[in-house]
Amino acid sequence: MTGTMTEAAGAARGPAAGAVTREMSMQQAINAALRTVLEQDPDTLVFGEDVGALGGVFRVTDGLQRDFGAERVFDTPLAESAIVGMAVGLAMNGWRPIPELQFDGFAYPAVDQIVNQLARMHYRSRGAAPMPVTLRLPSFGGIQAPEHHGESLEALFAHVPGLKVCAPSDPQDAYRLLVQSVRCDDPVVYMEPKARYWERRPVDTAAGAGDMPVGRSRVLRPGRHATLVAWGAMVHRCLQAAEYAAEDGVELEVVDLRWLKPIDAEGLAASVSRTRRAVVVHEAPLTAGLGAEVGSLVTERAFGALAAPVERVAGFDVPYPAGPLEPQYLPTIDRILSAVQRTLEYERP
């Protein structure tokens, strides 16, 4: 998983004027990151359904049109294919577009533009037309929203050559990953965990993109008995599971993958080499989900260290259910702990 990583193009640029650490929700942190790039890079454009006058259905783009003008922050027709197609054309003409698709499930109408144009224009043009596009995609479930508002498309996009994919799990990383995505010269699908939008944490807007390169994971909680691997909203659930496990004397390490393409195979291997067991947790359906990729990478790189097969705790192979059934669909603490227990008591045949 190396060789194609493009480092942040403008990492040397400084923080936004007046940057301070203050408590923010993830919505506010993403808003702050958009302000940072809009201030520092005159080529950036923010557009999508209701991102302008309304400020976004989740208030993420609140005030941006007022402060940066309707030429740089603007509403589009309700046509996702046109939104991404517009981003491709703007990127070909030197802009750095940051389009929003309002919800995960509404990315499907844009898949033709994403796969056939956005992802391969750089390749097709033999390097003449880079696509520095950051596609913001409010993603995953957990807010009991209607159909098309709770889907996990990371495996779909990670499978497409030419795209990078990331998903933050907390406000600080939402800020950092968005700035980094915008400054990356490759197209990045930036998946926002809706269920964590309201979480408030201190955010340092002077941190910029930080010193973590594209594709780097992070260990959020060290432990020695097993590694939980997650991204987006499931990171929080894994941290809760680790708290419970600690009550029983089981120390779980929690790895926030952050980048879903490229995946930090070395970081995963380093963690699992210490803990000897791994459980991947994701909201997406099990079959051909990204957990399979994680399991394979871990097995390739840490086979000798593994004391048990890599376990997967995932959504079920059904369409994402209606709101009241969400708690039954999403990985629960008990399902995560049961998988951990299976790795703890596994005996080689």
Partner 1 sequence: MTETTERTFTLPDLGEGLVEATVLEWLAAPGDAIERNAPLVELETTKSAVEIPSPHGGTVARLHAAEGEVVQVGAPLVTFVVEVPAGEGGAGAQSGIVGRVPTEEEPPRRRVRLRPPEE
Q: Which residues are catalytic?
A: 149
Residues 69-108 that bind partner 1 (CB under 8 A): 78, 103
Can you tell me which of 7, 112, 243, 300 binds partner 1, judged by CB under 8 A?
Answer: 243
CA 25 to each of CA 60, 171, 203, 249: distance values in angstroms, whole numbers, following the listed order: 10, 6, 9, 33
Q: For partner 1, what does the binding mask look like between residues 155 and 194, x meaning CB under 8 A?
A: ---------------------------------------x
Q: How far is the CB of 163 from partner 1 (least distance, A)?
A: 26
Q: Tell me which stretch binds partner 1 (CB under 8 A): 48-56, 90-98, 120-128, 182-190.
A: 48-56
CB 233 within 8 A of CB 204: no
**Does residue 250 touch partner 1 according to CB under 8 A?**
yes
Whichever of 32 and 119 has its CB closer to partner 1, that residue is: 32
Q: 62 is written with which tokens?
A: 């609140």
Strand partners, 294: none
- Residues with Cβ within 8 Å of residue 109, at least 6 apart in sequence: 79, 80, 81
Number of other residues whose CB lies within 10 A of the CB of residue 130: 18
Residues 304-323 that bind partner 1 (CB under 8 A): 323
Whichever of 38 and 115 has its CB closer to partner 1, that residue is: 38
**Using alpha carbons only, what angle is made at residue 328 by residues 327 and 332, rounded to the nearest 5 degrees?**
70
Rounded CA separation 129/94 (Å): 9
Rounded CA separation 110/150 (Å): 17
CA 96 to each of CA 15, 28, 41, 226, 346: distance values in angstroms, whole numbers, following the listed order: 19, 22, 9, 41, 50
Can you tell me which of 230, 245, 278, 284 binds partner 1, judged by CB under 8 A?
Answer: 245
Can you tell me which of 7, 23, 300, 317 binds partner 1, judged by CB under 8 A?
Answer: 23
**Using alpha carbons only, what angle is made at residue 143 by residues 138 and 148, rounded to the nearest 5 degrees?**
55
Can you tell me which of 198, 287, 300, 325 binds partner 1, judged by CB under 8 A?
Answer: 198
**Does residue 342 touch partner 1 according to CB under 8 A?**
no
Name the site residues for partner 1 (rule: CB under 8 A): 23-28, 31, 50, 53-55, 57-60, 62-63, 78, 103, 142-146, 149, 194-195, 197-198, 225, 237, 240, 243-245, 248-250, 323, 332-334, 337-338, 340-341, 344-345
